[in-house]
Amino acid sequence: MLSTLLLCSLSVQAGSYELVIDEGEVEFSDGKRTALTINGQSPAPELRFKEGEEVEIKVTNRLERMTALHWHGILLPYTQDGVPGISFPGIQPGETFTYRFTLKQSGTYWYHAHADFQEQEGLYGPLIIEPKGREPYRYDREYTVLLFDWQDEKPERTLANLKKQADYYNDQQPTLGDLLRDARRDGWSAALKDRWDWGDMRMARSDIADVSGFRFLVNGRDTEQNWTALFKPGERVRLRIINGAGMSYFDLRIPGLPMTVVQADGNDVQPVTVDQLRIAVAETYDVIVQPREDKAYTLFAESMDRRGYARATLAPRAGMQGEVPEQRAPRLLSMADMGMAHAGMDHGSMGGGEMTGMDHGAMSAMDHSAMTGMDHSSMAGMDHGAMGQAAANNPDYAAGSGIAPEPVDGGRVLVYGDLKAMRPAAGYRAPDRTIELKLTGNMERYFWSFDGVKYSEAEPIRLKYGERVRFRFVNQTMMNHPMHLHGMWMQLDKGNGQLNPLKHVVNVAPGQTIEVDVPADAVGEWAFHCHLIYHMASGMFRKVVVEAADGSTQPFYGEQSFSRESQHAQH
């Protein structure tokens, strides 16, 4: 009841909020857990604003450690962005920090902690900005669907376990029975060579996610608690879907109910109707569904590695439940999923010590996460772009993913190529220059980086205000990386020119190359990182500095500066 009252009281304070970060509890179907909370709840209260509004958010820290809140995907002065060590020093215990900025956009976004692992401990919530004018699609009611991966284990212990043993959380290792099955199907030679190839890469075909053992939630509710949204048959229902998970990708579908995608990362896109979508960590998608029958439907979000799922219900009346689909079998990677079977190169071509001049000794530089020492451009005449494009052109290749979700009953799966902006981008032009960033890492040491250099040893990426820069992400690892740039849009290049979509997160799959154009239109210092929380913490992070013509990085006149107040926060 207290959480409900807090949420109601917040919802009437347009443009102004007071948030208190403290220790508290969450309650699941099997009992309570200690968590970090905002105004006594996790997920945090939904914040709602209007486009053009001047925002004031007072955040009080009642923890015994520093904290900070980041407004994910929001365009604002960098001093308001909420990244300790870049935007500001953080909010110390007992202090109140007041964020002030003017909203220049609308759409579905979210906010979360940007201090150590506090996001994973419960500091995350939705942020909705209503547009000034009419939206280009209609709906009768709306709901926010916030996905999360809760873990009972403390995040610091999880990272320590990963540092000690690369496959600590891989509970689906291949068995002798799997080898016998593959030998019966493919022959002993092929089966043994397959094991040899994966062994050379120091990974298993089941290594899809770094961490397992999560409890998957919808709006803070687990599968037994079954969060439910009501509708009247025939209504058009807007679902604002946010992946607020720390490490988990979801393949989301509503059996019997097609979804029309109308927004991606807060930006309107030309409507596209699909049966399933993959939502990478930190992405948002708005979809409209129209349930016509007087029955309950199940919103079913399987984790990419098929180790679990989040579940919710859409129903005409409270208490109804839809049939829950049978969870699909755990996924196994193929060489194609690793970007190694395109352009005429198949699994078999990796055997016998041959990989276009690479022997198995050379492959030893390549482990679960590292393909360093491997030049993609020498792979059978295949360059980075060809690998990424081959994957992107595959009709079953889900939006930005390395291992595509299986279509169900021939249904359509969303791909990045489906996303076209509703309106042409203003100021669209050819980039002034290109910066190539290799996504690199080493799973055995649990070390993640750009160009082999972790954040603590890296120089900032420097841009000039007003220039348009193309970033080319070349994923040389065996993992997916959802790349997030603070403060500026990334225009994902899918060959549609001015209609290329604007995104704040783009997923780069194993062995894939993706290009985005960034208008450097925000002076300041910005964070740029993989949004997998343990990858970011382990070095896949960089500072981007946008300088004015005089070399200044201070916000222009008229942009708000931050304010800080000392306040003793009583527990």
Cα(523)–Cα(554) distance, rounded to whole angstroms? 6
Chain segment 460-487, per-residue pLDDT in tens: 999 999 999 999 999 999 889 999 999 9
Edge-first strand listing for the sheet containing 481-485: 461-464, 541-547, 524-530, 481-485, 505-508
End-to-end CA distance of the chain: 21
Q: Count CB atoms within 10 A of the CB of residue 514.
A: 27
What pLDDT, on a 0 to 100 scale, did the predictor assign at position 527?
Answer: 98
Cα(219)–Cα(126) distance, rounded to whole angstroms? 9
Cα(568)–Cα(462) distance, rounded to whole angstroms? 39
Angle at 106 between CA 103 and CA 112, to 5 degrees: 75
Judged by average pLDDT, the poorest of 48-57, 59-68, 305-314, 436-445 is: 436-445
What pLDDT, on a 0 to 100 scale, did the predictor assign at position 13?
Answer: 45
Structure tokens at 236: 């058009």
Cα(361)–Cα(568) distance, rounded to whole angstroms? 60
Mean pLDDT to the nearest integer, 443-461: 92
Q: Which fold has domain 135-170+206-332?
A: Immunoglobulin-like (2.60.40)
What pLDDT, on a 0 to 100 scale, did the predictor assign at position 367?
Answer: 35
Chain segment 75-107, per-residue pLDDT in tens: 999 999 999 999 999 999 999 999 999 999 999
Indicate if the pLDDT at residue 391 is higher than 50: no
What pLDDT, on a 0 to 100 scale, did the predictor assign at position 15?
Answer: 81
Q: Residue 516 pairs with which residues in a beta bridge?
A: 471, 492
What pLDDT, on a 0 to 100 scale, did the predictor assign at position 9?
Answer: 38
Name the 3-class secondary structure at 74.
coil
Q: Where in the chain is the domain with CATH 2.60.40.420?
A: 2-134, 135-170+206-332, 334-560
Mean pLDDT computed over every residue of the chain: 83
Per-residue three-class SS string for 469-495: EEEEEEECCCCCEEEEECCCCEEECCC
Mean pLDDT to the nearest integer, 131-152: 97
CATH number of the structural domain 334-560 = 2.60.40.420
CATH number of the structural domain 2-134 = 2.60.40.420
Q: Residue 107 pairs with which residues in a beta bridge?
A: 129
Output the pTM of the full model.
Answer: 0.82
Say which residues have a Cβ less than 8 Å from residue 533's Cβ, sequence separation at least 6. 117, 119, 120, 155, 246, 247
Give CA separation, 422 vs 36, 110, 288, 491, in Å: 38, 22, 16, 13
Mean pLDDT to the nearest integer, 140-161: 96
